[in-house]
Amino acid sequence: MLFVGVAGHGPEHPIASRLTRLGAVPGSVERPPSWDVAEPTVFVLSGTDRPGGKCWPGLHFVVATDAGPAADAMVDETARQIDQLWADRLVPFEANLRASRRAPRRQEALLVDPDRTWPVQARRLIERLRFSAGGQIIRVDHIGSTSVPGLHAKQLIDIQVVVADLPTAARVAEAAQRAGFVHVPGQWFGTDRHGMDHPEEVVVDADPGRPVNINIRPVGAPIWRETLLFRDWLRSHDEERDAYAAMKRELTQRPDHDVGDYGRDKMPWISAALARAEDWAAAAGWSPLPRRLPVT
């Protein structure tokens, strides 16, 4: 099932009414339906907004008529846009989630211009994760190229979740389905700068319109710290950020270079950069202490 809200509007708003006519079931976030509904269902829930401009974090998708802070999609009130949203995104999202199936994704690495809304989008995804499994999470962060202002990136949000151990990572990965994500089965590893692999769990998008990778890592593995160090070092060094972007652009121009090749071929540059980043961390006193506070 899929929980959808229309930001800033009640159940009689044209967007909510149109979605209901298309097949959605009306409801309220004050008394949300049980998760264990057997039949395929998209619920449009009123009472979406919360104090401070936030939305109920149990929503899988938020529609708005303007660039609200929690909007997953913006439409006007025309039937055509709403019908297209329903057919192209909401119905496939619900079907993917119900089947525990990841959304299709492009296989070539395509970089796009920096988008100022990437951090806002990441915050929305993080809120959903915390809602589904927050008590088991030590910290969760927006990582990857979309987390570095001014850096060209694939249209993909990366999130890192730090937990106590691998069994907890598996539980968080399963709980993430209630937040609208899909646990990818199998053995997954994060590789540190020394080439050592560290087991982790991986969760991805069911929403065909918002690609996301979520790496769930034990606090005892060094990979989560290195990931945050690399992000914060790039944020603090524009020249290194630009050199990283140039290297990535060169990789995308190689013939027959898919996303797997792209991810692998970045590692030598990243490993060398982390040595420089460690020097900066020591000089600056940088340390990402594992605490149950930040969403960055």
Structure confidence by residue, pLDDT tens digits, 81-105: 999 999 999 999 999 999 999 999 8
Give the separation between CA 11 and CA 233, rounded to whole angstroms: 46
Average pLDDT of the segment spanning 118-146: 93
Q: What is the pLDDT of residue 290?
A: 53
pLDDT over threshold 60, residue 151? yes
| Residues 131 and 120: beta-carbon distance below 8 Å | no
Task: State the sign of the Cα–Cα–Cα–Cα dihedral 56, 61, 63, 66.
Answer: positive
Give 126's DSSP letter: H
Q: Would you state the torsion angle of the CA atoms of residues 200, 287, 274, 146, taken in this order, to the nearest 10 degrees?
A: 70
Residue 9 or 164, more confident: 164
Q: What is the pLDDT of residue 46?
A: 76
pLDDT over threshold 90, residue 149? yes
pLDDT over threshold 60, residue 292? no
Q: How many CA atoms lie less than 13 Å away from 197 in the CB half-sphere? A: 6
Q: What is the pLDDT of residue 47?
A: 67
- Radius of gyration from C-alpha coordinates of the chain: 20
Give 106's DSSP letter: -
Average pLDDT of the segment spanning 14-39: 84
Give the separation between CA 187 and CA 38, rounded to whole angstroms: 30
Q: What is the pLDDT of residue 293?
A: 41
Q: Would you state the torsion angle of the CA atoms of residues 178, 181, 187, 191, taken in this order, to the nearest 10 degrees?
A: -120
Q: What is the pLDDT of residue 295?
A: 47
Give the separation between CA 184 and CA 197, rounded to whole angstroms: 18
Identify the bridge partners of residue 112 per DSSP, sorted by sequence position. Answer: 153
State the CATH class of domain 111-284. Answer: alpha beta
Predicted TM-score of the model (pTM): 0.91
C-alpha distances (whole Å) from 124 to each of 127, 128, 265, 275 are 5, 6, 30, 33
Q: What is the pLDDT of residue 179?
A: 93
pLDDT over threshold 90, residue 217? yes
Average pLDDT of the segment spanning 216-224: 95
Amino acid at 60: H
